[in-house]
Amino acid sequence: MSVVVVGTSGYVVIEGWSAWDAFYMTITTVSTVGYRELHELSRAGQVFTSGLIIMGVGTAFYTFSLLIAALVDGSLHRRLEKRRRARMLDDLKDHVIVCGYGRIGSIVAEQFDRERVPYVVIDRDPERVHAVLERGGLAVAADASREEVLQRVGIARARALIAAVGSDAENVYAILSARGLRPDLFIVGRADSEDAGRKLLRAGASRVIAPYKIGAMQIAQTAIRPAVVDFVELATSSENLELAMEQVRIGDASSLAGRSIVDANLRQRFGVIVVGIQRADGRMEFNPPPDVTMRGGDQLVVLGRPESLRELEAAAQ
């Protein structure tokens, strides 16, 4: 663009041409098309035209060399990938924000990959972020407790946030920031101790998970009741294609709202077993009797084949 401006101005000043004639002459000269001159050139105009040709060709070669260099060293590819990831972040919705990609966060991400749940990882370690990107996931190298970072990963459109950073203190800060931005967001916090769990709850966590405590309890249950543990793993594993346990929300306008389990004929109609009902106020009713009434806002905890669960979810909307 600067070459065109210089060329146009030069012809106007040196030859006294109109702006359009000067612009047209500059374009045909720089592009080396080789059309004839619009007007007879003076000696000064010929010298200027020669310099303009050298300048135009040199600029073109310089730009071309920069493009080739960018292609060779991969910088162009990295910039394009960065823009693509930025667009993907802007398009994210109903996703889960995973804060931390350590031992817990990486397992969570793998589970989301298997169940095809959209998610984005926030971690300070560039190597961990690179590992997520290599797997085809979305990740940002940043501090999960910073509000601008949470806004960048679409917290306004997220369905949940998991605070699984390396320390309890960092998880507290991440939860405080997230709760301040989204008072209605479902937040799961990882705690290494009961005292830390209480702090996470006070910070705004909806649920607190203690991985070491849960792991120890499962080890003990496996030693005492291995068949029960095997059944629970079978029902909750995303790799199992024959049986799945899912939660299904009853919509206010659903045909199931206001009807009992036996009246709705869930077992025969959908082939599912209702294991429990979480009421809208948070109360959980385990192994509900057939005549219990389902209400709008209730969450049914059901066991069945994946296709049966999808049919039930459609009817519950």
Residues 69 and 98 occupy one common structural domain: no
Query: Is residue 227, in this structure, part of any structural domain at all?
Result: no
Query: 122: Cβ–Cβ under 8 A, 6 or more apart, which residues?
Result: 97, 98, 99, 100, 139, 140, 142, 143, 144, 149, 150, 153
pLDDT of residue 67: 67
pTM of the model: 0.64
Using alpha carbons, list the distances in angstroms from residue 239 to 3, 236, 244, 246.
62, 9, 9, 14
The verdict on residue 78 lying in a domain is no
**CATH number for the domain that contains residue 282:** 3.30.70.1450
| CATH code, domain with 18 | 1.10.287.70
pLDDT per residue over 40-93, tens digit each?
776 776 667 677 677 766 676 667 676 666 555 555 556 666 677 778 788 888
For residues 64 and 100, membership in a common domain is answered with: no
Residue carrying structure tokens 């690179």: 130
pLDDT digits (tens, 9 = 90+) for 281-298: 888 888 888 888 888 888
- pLDDT at residue 215 greater than cutoff 90: no
Q: Indicate the length of the chain as a whole number.
A: 317
Average confidence (pLDDT) over 149-177: 93
Looking at the fold, whether 139 and 196 belong to one and the same domain comes out as yes
